[in-house]
Amino acid sequence: MKIIVNGDAREVKEPTLDAALEELGFGNRVVATALNGEFVSASARPSTSLEHGDRLEVLAPMQGG
């Protein structure tokens, strides 16, 4: 299915968020996720299903003021 990851269209096969993150190369990364604007905690990722057209944000630590 096609989803939007950090603003870019990506094709993913995995149906759940935790597996899709692995597939997208985020395995073992310290990241936080939001799906369609709503925060999804790490513990909720295995039970979060993805649907065609979903907007996924994957955020990592960054410098900040």
Shortest distance, CB of residue 15 to another protein, whole angstroms?
A: 18
By the rule CB under 8 A, 48 interacts with another protein: no
Q: b/e string for 29-64 if b means 16 or more Cβ within 10 A?
A: eeeebebeeeebeeeebeebebeeebebbbeeeeee
By the rule CB under 8 A, 9 interacts with another protein: no
Q: Which is nearer to another protein, 15 or 27 (CB)?
A: 27
| Interatomic CA distance for residues 20 and 27, integer angstroms | 9
| Interacting residue ranges for another protein, rule: CB under 8 A | 6-7, 24-26, 29-34, 37-39, 41-42, 57-65
